[in-house]
């Protein structure tokens, strides 16, 4: 079986699946380490903030704002309602694009993974999507759709879907043919094989792909907002830096970091744990 | 035991896979009578599994015909590896087979539990396959097969991947289960003792392309056990005869 479709990005995308399986072991060793390991993590955060605070005394605020300046910016943005408004605008772009990627990418990836015809037809479009610069996608979207939420969402889908597809295609190819044959021997319909064998086999790859896709989609959404000037955090960064309001740029950057961590620990990890219960091993 | 009706009749069955010059099966004439256990024994790769695949509807014959006595033939297939769905518990794996034949949800659990009791796995219903030993996984695979109340049981080296000790205990279990079910059974094995212990007839196949070399009637009654037949001189004689018949086939 050839895997000509996977480019370098695919090689980076695929190890996500084994890593997902290995994570519970890491959690167990963290528990064995007791309080020491979390303490080291907290210590690193304290050191970073302290270093930042000290360094900021040596520079004007428009070059390196202090942590307090950034905190003030945050309180002010929340107070004016701007923070919630802009974060919501960006999250809406992101979720719409991410939802479309999954709705389009899951069936398409399974089809490409299972059919040689679909694989051949998809080869060039996929190489195109992987290699075309995001900046060109943005320029084209501006011409075709104008400054709009649709344009931001469109660019994000086009720029991130290949990462998701590559993982779903890999997952589909990882299906154990013995299980498919067993299902056929027990008179399973194609629909039943899809539900009981294909989709569960793809789940770990789907999770790895979703995680990578979301990371890429954040970048492209913010980038598009910055350049197109629609509502959203990207555009706020653009206007803030034009006004040399560096503290605001820091504030938006840290807000996105916090949101990404929230999604990782609040959504991805619990969903992953739920969907991969069976790989716990002997207990 | 009165053996009457013919369940399955292979008539001059041959099989050649596409792009392969050498056929796997050639001129196979064999009848399976209702309720009997037939063991197929022969060298590796000789096409024994192909015969099972034909009966399971997984592949077609190239020449000849397969006559089925009844149109509602329902076969259960137990493979050499358990082939359990790793994301389903043992119970749900057995229910999988029941789902495919349209058993209503409220009956599935009851029938799956009953099948798992037969194979002594009642205490592991909610475990996932990777939490069980190889022998237990294979019991679960057997439960999945018998839960659908098959009219034909296809066993493809069901104990072949297990260690010798587990294997010998499971042979006894299999003997008991097959005797209880009275289902027509076709067993593929590499183990002459296993064939004699479990089967009413032993079919010896040649190396590829597989033809039937000889069919032996096993003289031990339905109440046989490993302990009773092992001291019987007819056991040693039958074993010797099959071994000598297979020797040139395996060496070739």
B86 touches chain A (CB under 8 A): yes
B8 touches chain A (CB under 8 A): no
Examine the pLDDT at A115 and tell me if it is beyond 70: yes
Cα–Cα distance between B36 and B27 in angstroms, integer? 22
Which pLDDT belongs to residue B2? 47
Contact B64, B14 (CB under 8 A): yes
Examine the pLDDT at A281 and tell me if it is beyond 60: no
Residues of chain A with C-beta less than 8 angstroms from the C-beta of B129: 278
The structure tokens listed for B56 are 């399971």
Examine the pLDDT at A283 and tell me if it is beyond 60: no
Cβ contact (<8 Å) for B86 and A281?
no
Examine the pLDDT at A163 and tell me if it is beyond 80: yes
Which pLDDT belongs to residue B252? 55
Residue pairs between chains A and B whose CB atoms are closer than 8 Å: 59
Instruction: Choose among B77, B99, B101: nearest Cβ to A185.
Output: B77
A274 touches chain B (CB under 8 A): no
Examine the pLDDT at A23 and tell me if it is beyond 60: no
A179 touches chain B (CB under 8 A): yes
- Structure confidence at residue A28 as a pLDDT band (50, 70, 90): low
Cα–Cα distance between A228 and A224 in angstroms, integer? 6
Nearest CA in chain A to B83: A179
Of chain A, the percentage scoring pLDDT greater than 70 comes to: 87
Domains of chain B: 1-8+29-58+66-73+151-252 (3.40.50.300), 84-150 (no CATH)
Examine the pLDDT at A193 and tell me if it is beyond 90: yes
- Structure confidence at residue A273 as a pLDDT band (50, 70, 90): confident
- Structure confidence at residue A3 as a pLDDT band (50, 70, 90): very low
Cα–Cα distance between B121 and B90 in angstroms, integer? 9
- Structure confidence at residue A11 as a pLDDT band (50, 70, 90): very low
Contact A278, B86 (CB under 8 A): yes
Which pLDDT belongs to residue A15? 35
**Spans of chain B below 50 pLDDT:** 1-3
Cβ contact (<8 Å) for B86 and A278?
yes
- Structure confidence at residue A36 as a pLDDT band (50, 70, 90): confident
Cα–Cα distance between A235 and A233 in angstroms, integer? 5
Residues of chain A with C-beta less than 8 angstroms from the C-beta of B58: 181, 184-185
Sheet strand arrangement including B37-41: B75-78, B152-156, B184-189, B37-41, B201-205, B212-217
B128 touches chain A (CB under 8 A): yes
Instruction: Choose among B75, B96, B101: nearest Cβ to A196.
Output: B96
Cα–Cα distance between A83 and A252 in angstroms, integer? 9
Cα–Cα distance between B220 and B235 in angstroms, integer? 9
Which pLDDT belongs to residue A33? 61
Q: pLDDT tens across A65-104, in order?
A: 999 999 999 999 999 999 999 999 999 999 999 999 999 9
Kindly report the average pLDDT of chain B as a whole number.
88
Decide which of A257 and B46 is more confident.
A257
Which pLDDT belongs to residue A158? 94
Closest CA to A7 of A126, A120, A132, A135: A126
**Integer CA distances (angstroms), A20 to A97, A209, A266, B167, B174, in order:** 24, 11, 16, 35, 39
Which pLDDT belongs to residue B181? 86
> What is the average pLDDT across A18-25?
43
Q: Count the neighbouring beta carbons within 10 Å of the beta carbon of residue A250.
A: 22
Residues of chain B with C-beta less than 8 angstroms from the C-beta of A280: 128, 131
Closest CA to B2 of B37, B38, B33: B33
Helix (H, G, I), strand (E, B) or coil at B71: coil
Instruction: Choose among A181, A203, A281: nearest Cβ to B130.
Output: A281
Question: For helices A199-228 and A246-263, what crossing angle results, to 10°?
Answer: 170
Q: How many residues does chain B have?
A: 252
A181 touches chain B (CB under 8 A): yes
- Structure confidence at residue A280 as a pLDDT band (50, 70, 90): low
B126 touches chain A (CB under 8 A): no
A191 touches chain B (CB under 8 A): no
B11 touches chain A (CB under 8 A): no
């Amino acid at each position: 079986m050839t895997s000509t479709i996977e480019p370098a990005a695919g090689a980076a995308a695929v190890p996500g699946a084994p890593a997902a399986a290995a994570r519970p072991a890491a959690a167990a060793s963290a528990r064995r380490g007791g309080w020491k390991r979390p303490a080291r993590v907290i210590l690193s955060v304290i050191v970073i903030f302290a270093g930042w605070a000290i360094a900021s005394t040596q520079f004007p605020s428009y070059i390196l704002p202090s942590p307090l300046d950034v905190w003030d910016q945050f309180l002010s943005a929340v107070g004016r309602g701007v923070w919630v408004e802009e974060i919501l605008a960006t999250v809406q772009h992101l979720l719409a694009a991410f939802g479309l990627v999954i709705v389009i990418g899951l069936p398409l990836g399974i089809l490409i993974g299972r059919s040689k015809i679909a694989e051949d037809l998809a080869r060039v479009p996929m190489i195109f999507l992987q290699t075309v610069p995001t900046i060109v996608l943005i320029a084209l979207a501006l011409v075709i759709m104008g400054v709009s939420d649709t344009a931001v969402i469109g660019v994000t889908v086009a720029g991130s879907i290949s990462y998701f597809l590559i993982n779903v295609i890999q997952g589909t190819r990882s299906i154990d043919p013995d299980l498919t044959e067993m299902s056929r021997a027990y008179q399973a319909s194609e629909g039943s094989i899809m539900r009981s064998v294909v989709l569960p086999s793809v789940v770990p790859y789907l999770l790895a792909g979703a995680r990578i896709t979301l990371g890429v989609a954040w970048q492209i959404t913010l980038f598009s907002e910055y350049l197109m000037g629609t509502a959203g955090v990207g555009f706020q960064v653009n206007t803030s830096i034009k006004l040399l309001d560096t503290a605001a740029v820091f504030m938006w950057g840290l807000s996105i970091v916090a949101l990404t961590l929230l999604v990782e620990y609040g959504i991805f990890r619990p969903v992953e744990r739920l969907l991969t219960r069976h790989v716990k091993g002997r207990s | 035991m009165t053996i009457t009706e013919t369940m399955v009749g292979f008539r001059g069955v041959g099989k050649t896979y596409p792009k392969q010059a050498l056929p796997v099966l050639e001129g196979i004439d064999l009848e399976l009578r209702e309720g009997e256990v037939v063991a197929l024994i022969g060298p590796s790769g000789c096409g024994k599994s192909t015969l099972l695949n034909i009966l399971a509807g997984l592949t077609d014959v190239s020449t000849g015909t397969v006559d089925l006595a009844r149109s509602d033939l329902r076969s259960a297939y137990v493979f050499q590896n358990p082939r359990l769905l790793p994301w389903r518990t043992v119970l749900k794996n057995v229910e999988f087979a029941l789902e495919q034949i349209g058993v209503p949800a409220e009956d599935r659990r009851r029938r799956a539990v009953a099948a798992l009791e037969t194979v002594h796995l009642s205490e592991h219903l909610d475990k996932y396959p990777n939490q069980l030993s190889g022998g237990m996984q294979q019991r679960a695979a057997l439960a999945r097969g018998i839960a659908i109340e098959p009219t034909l049981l296809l066993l493809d080296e069901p104990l072949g991947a297990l260690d010798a000790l587990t294997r010998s205990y499971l042979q006894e279990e299999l003997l008991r289960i097959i005797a209880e079910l009275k289902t027509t059974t076709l067993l593929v094995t590499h183990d002459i003792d296993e064939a004699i212990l479990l089967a009413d007839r032993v079919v010896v196949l040649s190396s590829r392309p597989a033809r039937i070399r000889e069919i032996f009637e096993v003289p031990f009654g339905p109440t046989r056990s490993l302990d009773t037949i092992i001291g019987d001189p007819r056991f040693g004689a039958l074993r010797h005869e099959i071994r000598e018949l297979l020797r040139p086939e395996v060496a070739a």
